[in-house]
Structure 1
């Protein structure tokens, strides 16, 4: 299953070339990640930190008033980290594919911690094989 986040575009997201600046995509991913992890019914309130981001830009996202869709799913779960995968898209039109490695963190002890059984169960609900299909489609040209 995938988590769907409708991300609003802001006027300030646009760069001098009239499209959404590539750096802004990191904020979009953060908004989707927070919407996914910090919900009243399921959350990572014990804390977590980002260990790594990777983004593949596929085409320009032109600023408009309608939100862009970010699909998010869990692509890997380890003992003390997990990886989220994302597609920033409109229908079948993909603007970017990305991944983020998240490490659960104990802020009181100032060290990483293991994923709890409850967190693991929650993450398993959002595992998805779709990232394999995305890897096959990576032959798309990247727009500058």
Structure 2
């Protein structure tokens, strides 16, 4: 299941070079993930049981700088669900042209806040994440 989120580049997203700073892309990607998970009722299903989805690895390929007033489209999809982790692929592109800005594959775990460690993805959590693929 592929989900898209649109964001407009604002002045406060820019660095001294006049383009979006590399660290800001992490915020854009996170916003898109939150919207995706909220729309699919994943946040409440997981956090209601004191779990969190935690990033354990993320690799970003920067293709070109995003500039002020560009509307960006961020595609988000779960591409793999394993025993203890799952992978989310995301792409940031210029909405109007489809020109690629950046793409990433991030690895996430379900983290149990009460015991302070990741947990096996099974049962309803596996079904929930599999539904998003």
Q: TM-score, normalised by structure 1?
A: 0.78
Q: Runs of 4+ in structure 1 displaced over 3 angstroms?
A: none
2:102 matched residue in structure 1: 96
Whole-angstrom distance in 2 between the partners of 1:108 and 1:39: 26
Contact 1:7 1:31 in 2 (8 A): no
Contact 1:8 1:67 in 2 (8 A): yes
2:86 matched residue in structure 1: 82
2:54 matched residue in structure 1: 49
1:120 matched residue in structure 2: 126
The answer to whether residue 60 in structure 2 is matched with residue 60 in structure 1 is no
Contact 1:3 1:126 in 2 (8 A): no
The unaligned stretches of length 5 or more in structure 2 are none
1:37 matched residue in structure 2: 37
Q: TM-score, normalised by structure 2?
A: 0.83
CA RMSD across the alignment: 1.8
The answer to whether residue 85 in structure 2 is matched with residue 69 in structure 1 is no
Contact 2:14 2:21 in 1 (8 A): yes
Contact 1:88 1:94 in 2 (8 A): yes
Q: How many residues align?
A: 126
The unaligned stretches of length 5 or more in structure 1 are 128-144
1:131 matched residue in structure 2: none
1:3 matched residue in structure 2: 3
Contact 2:9 2:67 in 1 (8 A): no
The structure that is strand-richer by fraction is: 2
